[in-house]
Structures are given as structure tokens and as C-alpha cells.
Structure 1
Amino acid sequence: MKPRISMITLGVRDIAAAVRFYRDGLGLPRMESPPDVAFFTLKGTWLGLYQRDALAADAGVSPEGSGFGSLALAHNLGSEAEVDATLREAVKAGAVVTKPPEKTPWGGYSGYFRDPDGHLWEIAHNPLFWVGPED
């Protein structure tokens, strides 16, 4: 039996602009795909469930209306410096920081940005345990 792969799909306004943001701006590896869709390979994924109002507050956005769509994607890195660098790369590529990186109550370090289509991303470092695939 082939392994199952989970996929996160984001709705975007402009495929070409979104590809530039994720491929050129954030450096995600793009797979071969038809012109009306783009796929990028990622190393494993986790699903986190968190209370909506608390997640919106953590991201520094309103839980109502267009301020928060009850979803935040997270990208976990190996150090605080990597968090800072990734947020700088995202801004350079067109993202808007909604919450600058800072020490967290859970012992980590994280910040948030919105991509050009408004998708909310948390960029985090968790020194208490590795969140990612086993190498």
C-alpha cells in the first residue's frame, strides 16, 4: 500500500503571483503541475487544533469578519534566528507581519504574517520538542 499524503490547499487570487511568493520568496520547491494549479513539496505536516478566539488573539488579529478565518498555518524552525530570517524573507516577498516574533508563554518564539492572499502563517521555534519529520 502506498503511503497517504495530506495536502493543504490555499485559494489564491493570482496563481502566478502566489507561485512567485511561495517559490521565489519563501523558497518552497515546486513540483511539476498544470498551469492552473501549483504544488509544492513539504516535509511532513501536523494538524493543530486550537480555540478560535485564542488563536486569533495569539496572531494579533480580530476573530471576526475578514480579520481571521479560523485557520492559521504554522511553519516550525530550528532556532529563533531562523524565525526572524523567515519573517524577513516573507515580508520581502510581499507578506505583511501581523505579529512580530517574540518569546511565547509556552516557552517558544513565534510571529505571524499574512501572505499576499491573506492566509495567516505562524513562524515558530519550539525548543521543548521538535515539530517535524524524523530525519
Structure 2
Amino acid sequence: MSETADQSSRRPVLAVAVLAVVLVVIAVIVGMLMTNPGPGGTAVPSSELTETPAATTGPSGSDTPDDEGGDMTPGSTFGAFLPESMGGEEAIDELGDRIAVVAKRNNKTVEELSDLLLRDRSAQISPEGFIVYKDSFDNAE
């Protein structure tokens, strides 16, 4: 009779374990659905977060205002402004008219960006048009 007693005491424990596993699986599925609801939902696939180079490098000839545009999240198709990171007058000269796009990308005016590049030798523009800072140990004593 002890064998029957052992089986009956294991059943509630087994049922609780199965219920816990089912709840965890349901929670994972709901979490996945909330982060990416798919077609008709509000989440945007990461492949749609990047702009094409034409959309970021100047006017497209459309009648849309300059303040309308896509996300400015870097991606593989984001476009290149410079062949390598540059700073100072060299970066300003190389960017030419595109400095306005780079300034906007970094939430700065052209004047603010130009001043930063001329004032701070560690400030540079990356090939993708973002402000980066080059660390150097030249001033170490």
C-alpha cells in the first residue's frame, strides 16, 4: 500500500511542475508577440530602420519638407560621407555642402558642428557622418 501512497503524493508535485512549465512557455510566447506583433502591429522590423544613402545625402526632388525623414539609425545601407574619420578643417572641406546633412544627423547646426571640429582636435566625423572622438595619449606626461 505504500507504493500507492507514494504515487498519490507525487501527482500534485508533478501537476504543479507541468503547470509551471506551461506558464513559462505561455509567458515567453506572449513576450515575443508583444515585442514584434507582425503584420498589422506597431513594431517595425530592424531592416526598415535604415535609410538609403539617397535619402540622407541631399534633396530628393520631392515636395516633402526637410524635417520629414526616416530614422537616423546607422545600418549597412546608411551611406558614406567620408572615406575615413576626419576632423578639423579637413573634415569641413571634404564634406562640402553635405555638412548640413551631417550636422542635422548629429542634432547640431552647421555652425555648431564647424565650431566643434575646429575647436576640439579629438572630435571627428566618421565615414557614416557621426561625431566620434579620437582618444590620444599625445598630451600624457
Q: What TM-score does the superposition give when structure 1 sets the normalisation length?
A: 0.25
Max Rg structure: 2
Name the structure with the higher helix share. Answer: 2
Q: What TM-score does the superposition give when structure 2 sets the normalisation length?
A: 0.24
* Greater relative contact order (CA < 8 Å, ≥ 6 in sequence): 1
